[in-house]
Structure 1
Amino acid sequence: MDIHKLEIFIDLSETLNYTETAEHQFTTQGNISKKIKALEKDLAVQLFRRSHRKITLTEAGILALPYAKEIVISYHTLKDNLNSYQTAKNLSLTIYTHPTMSNYQGFSSIMNFLKLHPEITVHLQEFESNELVSYLIEEKSDLIFTRIFDTLEKNLEQIVTENDQLVAILPSNHPLAAKKEIYLAELQLDHFLLLGKDTNLLHPVINLCHEAGFEPDITHEGTRVDLIMNMVSSDLGISILMKKAVQHHLNSKTVAIPIKPNLLSQLSFIRKKGANSKASNIFWHYLQNMYYH
């Protein structure tokens, strides 16, 4: 049903004058008459009695009037609520990130952005790295912040905030702890305490070990950097982790030493190409100005 017909019906029931209602609706008397006749056809009743250039509501019209008012009020309430929802959605940003984001510049970028744009709400949620790209493609988030080793899919775009590289995490009493750089092959007899496959770091480390000519003896696969660091400090083995992810976890019982061969990763904000929300575009423009100018 055309809501405008009901609005004209309500207006005419108050004015009982086609000319006055036409002025209210910014149209002609003829159009008002057509709309009322169309509504009467829709409802299969006569709403107005017309006689001697005067009109009055019929009994059916009197019965229909409060329902028409309720429908029109509900319709406009619905539109207002949907507009408010859409406005809030356009000014809301969901970012999924890997658990160690606070160690990187990307976290500071978000905090600074919120200071500049208090009108935008950011929902930040942590997930394991291997899930992030699929969540973005499934449109569960507007953007993701994650570590990238390979090239992106063609339908994605990224802004790189910084690079990171791998380091060997050794107990401070390890024979190699005083070295400035370690060849990975020198660690082939050690027990490896590694982040598991859910973090997207397991296979790159294993591949580096293969490149160095050995199969690592992996005695632990986990998801928590702090736990692995504690295990290393307890002399349970060594680890290969990203340098910036461990910088706040080092203590007197552990050291971080660059390794060869190494693997460079890009810490990046990533989103889908194409249509994005207003909030996403504002944030993306902010990132471009911050990192590419």
Structure 2
Amino acid sequence: MDDALTTNITWLAPRVALLDALAEESNLTRAAALAGVPQPTASRWLNEMGARLGTPVVHRAGRGIRLSPAGQQLAESGRRAANELRLGYRAALAEADPEQGHVSLAFLHTMGGVRVPELLAGFRAAHPGVRFTLVQGASEEIVQRLRDGETDLVLTSPLPADDPGLETRALAKQRLVAVVPAGHPLAARKRVRLAKLAEWEFVSLKTGFGLRRIIDGLLADAGCTPRISFEGEEADTLRGMVAARLGVAILPESEPLPNPGTVEISLEPPAFREIGLVWSADRPLLPAVRTFRDYATESR
């Protein structure tokens, strides 16, 4: 914006309220009182505005005073700006209210079926006025959204480590299981070792997903190099691939029941992924965000 225009707008802002009052009262004494300024100051402001604009903002009408066309334009613009400012102020007050604010929560696709809905339902029962924006994505993607200030909280796994810009809080451990098609040679087993599971082709999440990193680490520790036939972005898609006999998978235990056409087998030794909340260490949390964080961490 031009510097001279910015200066004029800054100068005009408190004076436009006087024009708005004149539009209502048509009397300088009463309008000055409404605007909260002495009458001599109000008279000076009107003269100064006319001089800056090069055209009067008021004209006499008998014993009263009326706005000129230029004054009416300014008063109407000021009224619209005041209404917007009023709405913004109310919205800002709502954000500062732990019972009326807004929370932006990002989470993994694998948590959208049961875990997140149950968490939100419990919280909203106690805090019905809080609004939410929900975002799903891969672990690296949603953590980057947090770093960029696009979301308030992230529910993810694994938790980012050694990042001084992030705060983390572990909430729960989720059991990982082998998922095989119904009728598969391993389907009757109660437990299976990774080395045995790796004899079959795998379907897996794409690189960049937190669960993929966990699974790759488990297989590497077991000395296994699986043959991956398909890669996807959602656990439900992978379960469908398993049911279609396109491979086996390692996934979080289904909530509440395994998909039709699949069987879930415990891993030997047992394997888990840690789920937790992440938030910025550099930005203060708004009251509603802090209330939800505390609820999530206390109800784990």
TM-superposed CA distance for 1:136, in Å, is 2.0
Corresponding residue SS for 1:221 = strand
Q: In 2, Cα distance between the equivalents of 1:16 and 1:87?
A: 35
Whether 1:78 aligns to 2:84 is yes
Query: SS at the partner of 1:265?
Result: strand
Relative distance call for 1:284 and 1:62 in structure 2 (3 A) is: same
SS at match of 1:197: coil
3-state DSSP of counterpart to 1:162: strand
Q: Does 1:226 align with 2:232?
A: no
Q: Are the equivalent residues in 2 in contact too, given 1:193–1:228 (CA < 8 A)?
A: yes
**Structure 2 unmatched ranges of 5 or more:** 1-8
Over 3 Å counting, the alpha-carbon distance change for 1:214 and 1:35 in structure 2 is same
Report the secondary structure of 1:118's partner residue. coil
Determine if the alignment matches structure 1 residue 64 to structure 2 residue 76. no
Paired residue for 1:283? 292
Residues 69-101 of structure 1 show CA distances to partners (whole Å, capped at 9, x for unaligned) of 323322222223433554676733332222221
Per-residue deviation, 1:156? 1.9
Distance verdict in 2 for CA 1:48–1:56, change over 3 Å: farther
Instruction: Quote the residue 2:6 is aligned against.
Output: none
Q: Which residue of 1 aligns with 2:135?
A: 125
**What is aligned with 1:35?**
45
Matches within 5 A, 1:115-264: 115-148=125-158, 150-151=160-161, 153-171=163-181, 173-174=183-184, 176-233=186-243, 235-243=245-253, 245=254, 248-250=257-259, 254-260=263-269, 263-264=271-272
The structure that has the greater radius of gyration is 1
Q: Deviations over 1:93-137 (max 9, x none)?
A: 332222221455343111222222222222223223342111222
Unaligned runs of at least 5 residues, structure 1: none
SS at match of 2:265: strand
Return the alpha-carbon distance in structure 2 between the equivalents of residues 237 and 142 of structure 1: 37
Q: How much does 1:49 deviate?
A: 8.2
Residue 278 of structure 2: which of 266, 270, 292 is its match? Answer: 270
User: Whole-Å Cα distance in 2 between the matches of residues 172 and 62 of structure 1?
Assistant: 83
Query: Could you state the TM-score of these two structures normalised by the residue count of structure 2?
Result: 0.75
Amino acid at match of 1:78: E
Deviation at 1:147, TM superposition (A): 1.7
Task: Letter of the 1:279 partner, please give it.
Answer: A
- Measured in 2, the distance between the counterparts of 1:106 and 1:289 equals 15
1: CA distance, partners of 2:200 / 2:273: 25
User: Which amino acid in 1 is paired with 2:131?
Assistant: T
User: What is the distance in 1 between the residues matched to 2:141 and 2:189?
Assistant: 36
The 1:223/1:251 distance shift into structure 2, 3 A limit, reads: same
**RMSD of aligned alpha carbons:** 3.5
Find the aligned partners of 2:191 and 2:139 in 1 and give their Cα distance. Answer: 28
* Structure 1 Cα separation of the partners of residues 133 and 119 of structure 2: 14
- 8 A contact 2:50–2:57 mirrored in 1: yes
Structure 1 distance, partners of 2:196, 2:163, is 36
Q: How many residues align?
A: 283
Tell me: CA distance 1:57–1:225, structure 2 relative to 1, closer, same or farther (3 Å): closer
Give me the whole-angstrom Cα distance separating, in 1, the residues matched to 2:299 and 2:110: 21
Rounded to whole Å, the distance in 2 between the matches of 1:151 and 1:66 is 60
Is the alpha carbon distance of 1:67 and 1:240 closer, same or farther for their aligned partners in structure 2, counting shifts above 3 Å? closer
CA contact (8 A) 1:93 1:121 kept: yes
Query: Structure 2: how far apart are the matches of 1:188 and 1:16?
Result: 88
What is the identity, as a one-letter code, of the residue corresponding to 1:79?
Answer: L
Q: Identity over the aligned pairs, expressed in percent?
A: 20
